[in-house]
Amino acid sequence: MSKKEAKPRLIRWILLLQEFDLTIKDKKGAGNLVADHLSRLVTDNDPTPLNDEFPDEHLHATQGITPWYTDIVNVLVTGTLPQNLPRIRKDKIKSDAKYFVWDDPHFWKFCSDQIIRRCVSETEIPSILKFCHSYACGGYFGPKRTARKVLECGLFWPNIFRDAYSFCKSCESCQRVGNINQQNQMPLTPIIVCEVFGVWGIDFIGPFPPSFGKSYIILGVDYVSKWVEAKATRTNDAKTVVDFVKTNIFSRFSMPRAIISDRGTHFCNKVVDALLKNYNITHRISTAYHPQTNSQAEVFNREIKSMLEKTVNPNRKD
Q: How many angstroms separate the CA atoms of 223 and 226, rounded?
A: 6
On the question of pLDDT at 318 being above 50, the answer is: no
Sheet arrangement for strand 106-110: 100-103, 106-110, 116-119, 155-156
Put residue 64 in one of left, alpha, beta given phi > 0 → left and psi -120 to 50 → alpha: left
Range ranked top by mean pLDDT from 61-65, 91-95, 269-273 = 269-273
pLDDT tens digits for range 216-267: 999 999 988 889 999 999 999 999 999 999 999 999 998 999 999 988 899 9
pLDDT tens digits for range 103-146: 878 889 999 898 999 999 888 999 999 999 988 777 888 899 99
Q: Decide: pTM greater than 0.75.
A: no
DSSP 8-state code for residue 10: H
Whole-number pLDDT of residue 87 = 86
Q: What is the average pLDDT across 28-39?
A: 69
Whole-number pLDDT of residue 35 = 66
Q: How many angstroms separate the CA atoms of 75 and 82, rounded?
A: 10
Calculate the average pLDDT of the chain: 82
Query: Which residues are registered as beta bridge partners of 156?
Result: 119
Predicted confidence band at 40 (pLDDT cuts at 50, 70, 90)? low
On the question of pLDDT at 2 being above 70, the answer is: no
